[in-house]
Amino acid sequence: MKSFRKQLWFTTGKRRQFINITRQVEECVHESGISEGLVLVNAMHITASVFINDDESGLHQDFEVWLEKLAPEKPYSQYKHNGFEDNADAHIKRTVMGREVVVAITGGKLDFGPWEQIFYGEFDGMRKKRVLVKMIGE
Ligand code: ZN
């Protein structure tokens, strides 16, 4: 069995941002030489997500609006967590959107449904953060 590990780094220009990282994960699969196996992709921070969905800008705006209704960023004082920090909303948004995805690798490719794409979801950005890519297979 082969295994492969790599970290992908992201610094977003905004506090909240979605980045399609599918191509970077595909490059990891290629680099690993694994043709049959599984790839785990997870955010290594508790204020960021990795999730699978459609790469459609309207949907991404819908996520932003829905998440802001669920856990509005402001006022910061509404959250007990915001003593020394201002990112309670980011922790909640990350929990809702998920920590990680696992994708099957078949024939050396990500075995996706027709519209599936992998996204990094940043909820407290403008600083260097990372995503773990871990693969096992043969
Ligand atoms: Zn915090």
Cα(45) to ligand 1 centroid in Å equals 10
pLDDT digits (tens, 9 = 90+) for 53-93: 999 999 999 999 999 999 999 999 999 999 999 999 999 99
Cα(51) to ligand 1 centroid in Å equals 20
Cα(87) to ligand 1 centroid in Å equals 5
Closest CA to 24 of 3, 10, 44, 37: 10
Q: What is the pLDDT at residue 47?
A: 98
Spatial separation of the C-alpha atoms in residues 132 and 9, rounded to whole Å: 9
Q: Which helix (H) or strand (E) holds 31?
A: helix 22-32
Cα(4) to ligand 1 centroid in Å equals 30
Cα(47) to ligand 1 centroid in Å equals 7
Cα(10) to ligand 1 centroid in Å equals 18
Domains, the chain = 2-137 (2.60.120.460)
Radius of gyration of the chain (CA): 16
Cα(89) to ligand 1 centroid in Å equals 9
pTM: 0.96
Cα(73) to ligand 1 centroid in Å equals 12
CB 9 within 8 A of CB 122: no
Spatial separation of the C-alpha atoms in residues 131 and 48, rounded to whole Å: 9
Cα(40) to ligand 1 centroid in Å equals 25
Name the band, by pLDDT with cuts 50, 70 and 90, for residue 112.
very high
Spatial separation of the C-alpha atoms in residues 127 and 46, rounded to whole Å: 14
Q: Parallel, antiparallel, or unpaired: how do β-strands 100-106 and 48-53 relate?
A: unpaired
Name the band, by pLDDT with cuts 50, 70 and 90, for residue 98.
very high
Partner residues linked to 133 by β-bridges? 6, 41
Cα(82) to ligand 1 centroid in Å equals 7
Long-range contacts at 63-70 (CB < 8 A, ≥ 24 apart) = 63/18, 63/97, 64/16, 67/93, 67/96, 67/97, 67/123, 70/96
